[in-house]
Amino acid sequence: MKRLLCLLSALLSLCLLSACGQKACGGLIPDGTPLPGRVVRLYEDSLLLAGSEGGVYTASPTEETLAGLREGDLVTLYYSGVILETFPAQLGQVEVVTDQTGFDDLCVLYRQVLEDLWGEDAALNEGITQLGVDLSQSGLSQSEQSALAWAFAGDQGLPVIEGTWQELADQGYIDGENLYWEDGVLFSIRAEQDAGEPGLVFTAEKWRSGTGAYFFCDCTSTQDKHGHWSDYTVGAFAIS
């Protein structure tokens, strides 16, 4: 009997050690493959993630988890199952761990800028079937650029094409000779000054043609100690 009890005790110990190998004792680390990134957009039942190592993903965690997240949170998703290779890639079942020190909602600020630009000179939007976005000089990471561009275009019900004016002209979207984009409008944000004191300075542009463009010039915003960016102020408006 003593030998049997010892054997059962040993087996129980091995099971506990195995469990701790898969999941930190106390349940601090979820099961699954870790994927760090920033929450760029929250929807009713899903989130849009810009991966820290590249890639853009959507996931549908529990309603309770979504309610505790903010756009701008730095998180690690632990996912299991297959990844659907769409764009954005779709993750299977996920658990979310939030980095309490990594909040930065610059994507939220820039999305507001793009939305405000969309509403200016609405005639420039007429008849378009595609939307160009250039955030290459915005200070965002490549994955954040792509995630924000996709989210913004999706809000307008349009497919997005990322690229600079020259890249879109080289690809045949923009008529570079006649300075006109028949089927689209290009939105761009260019940071003139890095974040920090006295804050971020940037210019935003909406371009349809050489004589059809709208600008927010010398915009400013500041970031507080918690990582939140203030509402922006436009230094000057310009049209062409």
This prediction's pTM: 0.86
Q: What is the pLDDT of residue 92?
A: 85
Distance CA 124, CA 112 (A): 18
Q: What is the pLDDT of residue 31?
A: 78
Q: What is the pLDDT of residue 198?
A: 59
Residue pair 106/73 in contact (Cβ under 8 Å)? The answer is no
In the chain, alpha helices (H)? 2-22, 63-67, 106-119, 142-155, 165-170
- How far, rounded to the nearest angstrom, does the alpha carbon of residue 26 sit from its chain's CA centroid? 32
Partners of 190 in the β-ladder: 137, 203
Residue pair 218/203 in contact (Cβ under 8 Å)? The answer is yes
Among 119, 142, 116, 144, residue whose Cα is nearest residue 231: 116
Q: What is the mean pLDDT of each run of 10 residues along the chain (240 residues)?
A: 40 36 42 94 97 97 95 96 91 91 96 98 97 97 98 98 98 98 98 70 97 97 94 96
Tokens of 75: 């998180």
